[in-house]
Amino acid sequence: MTGGPAGPDDVVGRPAADGVAELHPVVLVGAPTERRNPRSTDLDLMSTREMLTVINDDDRRVPAAVAAVLDEIAVTVDLAVTALSTGHRVHYFGAGTSGRLGVIDAAELVPTFNSPAGWFCAHLAGGPGAVWRAVEDAEDDLLGGAAEAARCVTAGDLVVGLAASGRTPYVLGALGAAGERGAATVLLCANPEVRPTVRLDVVIGVDTGPEVVTGSTRMKAGTAQKLVLNAFSTAVMVRLGRVYSNLMIDMVATNAKLRGRMISILIEATGCGEEVSRRALHEADGDLKTALVSLLSGAGIDAARSALARAAHQVRGALALLAS
């Protein structure tokens, strides 16, 4: 490399003793998350309580940073609703902390909202084993990300790339390949200064600033991503009718606590007593939505089930059909 000093995100060959550059490239990342935080320069000299105060004070900045990108998140929600409503899928592609948070979000949608298998697909650089043990070089595999997207993404899907810096090659490779296949593409990062090298429909650049521990994006950047993904996927599920009022009505009752929650939801939503709610749930073969529509409308279980089928399993739509 010739010319001036390396700029942000430049790849620098590290010379070996014989003057021949090593095979492994070095990248100088210019993202805000890599800058030093002036509020924590004496972190190693602080008492435990002082250290925790500094971390907590910085964490308080995250919700405001997320609030600044709600318009972009809203557009992404609409893209996801369109994809899922037309038989397509939502994909998360990420590496490191970002990728693991994508895996967590996708996994939690099944028990919480009974999200159909395949609606949300999480792809992690380095494969499933990278959830537990870091595979650091995997994030540099641009061609690997592109190949994985080419294998599973189809036109009409939504692909969300998760990368704190906004420049992770594996993620950008996946986004580029997804866009070429006709999918909508979104980049979620903690770098509002990012200039993506691939065409994107939406960039969600959350301005979380420098980390308390320089470059440790498992901190504020990760917290911001968790907040964004929580809001995004929850809003998608609400828009698709998997919430009535503010109650989970598509949950999977896999344990005693959740079976009890089903009864509580029916009591809360309908005003009926516990015995009536239990009986309706039993008659509906454990289908909370059917029991709910039956109790709210006064219709029988079979009529409630039929109305839900005609209303694309939307509770309010089914109630409107039964009232007409």
Q: Supply 271's token pair.
A: 């005003």
Query: CB–CB of 26/12 below 8 Å?
Result: yes
**Rounded alpha-carbon distances, angstroms, from residue 296 to 190, 243, 269, 299, 300:** 45, 15, 8, 8, 11
Task: Determine which one of 22, 34, 50, 108 is catalytic.
Answer: 108
The DSSP secondary-structure symbol of 12 reads: E
Q: Based on C-alpha coordinates, what's the Rg of the chain? A: 24
Pairing of strands 202-205, 158-162: unpaired
Q: CA-based angle 20:24:28, to the nearest 5?
A: 105
For the question of residue 139 being annotated catalytic, the response is yes
Q: Supply 80's token pair.
A: 């996801």
Phi and psi of 314, rounded to 5°? -95, 125
Task: Determine which one of 22, 34, 50, 139 is catalytic.
Answer: 139
Q: Supply 131's token pair.
A: 């959830």
Query: CB–CB of 98/163 below 8 Å?
Result: yes
Query: CB–CB of 320/311 below 8 Å?
Result: yes
So which residues are the catalytic ones?
A: 108, 139
